[in-house]
Amino acid sequence: MSLPGAARVLLLSLLAGTLFSGCAWRTADTTHHFGPVVFRFSPPRASAGGVSDLVHVGPLVEAGAQWGVSLGVMERITVVPATAGSPASPSRAEPPLRWPAFGALEPERWHVSLLYVRIPTPSAPALILRRLYGAELTIGAETRSASLGWTSRLLVHLPEDAVSVARFDGQRPMTSVFVSWPAGTLDAVAARKTFEEGTP
């Protein structure tokens, strides 16, 4: 059974729109990404925190906590801090990235999603790195800018009333370490040991 000409054009248009555009809706604890994206992640760990790295190619519209439009190659790396001494919870142990229709994803390896990825976080990211090769116009908590060419912005939110230890390498984001000790709970020996365990 063949499709009529108009139906074929509509189907191809929808497919091309999906493959070459995207939309991200960001809230305080979740990012919903529609459209093609390449991503990897490291699940939250007590000695390091959790990391996600997403790369989108083509037009991208952002809404929610961050508003904007961009065209080009956009990479967004986030690091969620681990809170020393906090009780473990099932949600912190689960992979932060999932496909609704597929099984578990392997941490620290690149994956491709053509339609939808949901990224829940146990707490707000403490570190956000945005890289763009192209053009953008954005406004929001992460960045307010109009740029053309290559840009790289690093935003750090230190937890209040806490001592934090962080190590970040933009070329090796999966090795990031970000641990916070709330005021009154700091153990200097344990802090040093935790940081050393999280350092390869």
Give pLDDT tens digits along the chain (200 positions): 455 666 665 555 555 554 557 899 888 778 888 888 899 988 877 777 889 999 999 899 999 888 999 999 999 999 988 876 654 433 333 344 444 444 567 888 898 888 888 887 777 888 999 999 999 999 988 888 899 999 999 988 888 888 888 888 888 999 888 888 887 766 655 666 665 665 54
What integer pLDDT is reported at residue 87 of this predicted model?
Answer: 47
CB of 102 within 8 A of CB of 31? Answer: no
What integer pLDDT is reported at residue 183 of this predicted model?
Answer: 75
Biggest CA pair distance of the chain: 72
> What residue type is 6 in one-letter code?
A
State both tokens at 11: 């189907």
Distances (CA, A) of 187 to 72, 80, 161, 197: 46, 21, 15, 15
What integer pLDDT is reported at residue 77 of this predicted model?
Answer: 93
What integer pLDDT is reported at residue 101 of this predicted model?
Answer: 43
What integer pLDDT is reported at residue 1 of this predicted model?
Answer: 47
CB count in 10 Å sphere of residue 68:
20
What integer pLDDT is reported at residue 134 of this predicted model?
Answer: 94
Report helix, strand or coil for 6. helix
Distances (CA, A) of 46 to 20, 43, 84, 186: 38, 10, 7, 15
What integer pLDDT is reported at residue 46 of this predicted model?
Answer: 73
State both tokens at 15: 């497919």
Spatial neighbors of 177 by CB under 8 A, at least 6 apart, are 47, 48, 49, 165, 166, 167, 168, 195, 198, 199
Q: Rounded distance, CA 99 to CA 104, Å?
A: 8
- Backbone phi and psi for residue 38, each to the nearest 5 degrees, phi listed first: -105, 135
Report helix, strand or coil for 196. helix
What integer pLDDT is reported at residue 21 of this predicted model?
Answer: 75
CB of 22 within 8 A of CB of 37? Answer: yes
